[in-house]
């Protein structure tokens, strides 16, 4: 009787731990998204500064240095 009870308890423990291990699953998902940097502001400012000082550059090339 004692051996049958021991067999039932060990069987229950093995089945119970097997059921628990199959219930808990962790899935991870990783994505790598590209990082975009917009440099349009710097380019626009640089172009506007070139336009603004282009008349000074044109004058400086026509000036005669003493």
Helix, strand, coil percentages in the chain from 3-state DSSP, rounded to 5: 70, 0, 30
What's the whole-model pTM score? 0.30
Q: How many domains does the chain have?
A: 1
Residue 16 is assigned to a structural domain of this protein: yes
How confident is residue 48, by pLDDT bands cut at 50, 70 and 90? Answer: confident
Report the pLDDT value the prediction gives residue 20, as an integer from 0 to 100: 61
Lookup: tokens for 66: 């003493």
Instruction: Tell me which residue range forms the domain holding 54.
Output: 2-26+35-61
Average pLDDT, the chain: 77
Res 32 pLDDT > 70: yes
**52 domain-assigned:** yes
3-class SS letters over the chain: CHHHHHHHHHHHHHHHHHHHHHHCCCCCCCCCCCCCCCCHHHHHHHHHHHHHHHHHHHHHHHCCCC
DSSP state of 30: -
């Amino acid at each position: 009787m004692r051996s049958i009870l021991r067999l039932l308890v060990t069987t229950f423990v093995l089945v119970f731990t097997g059921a628990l291990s199959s219930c808990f699953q962790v899935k991870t998902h990783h994505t790598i998204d590209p990082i975009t940097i917009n440099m349009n502001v710097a380019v626009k400012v640089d172009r506007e500064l070139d336009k603004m000082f282009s008349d000074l550059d044109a004058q400086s090339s026509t000036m005669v240095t003493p």
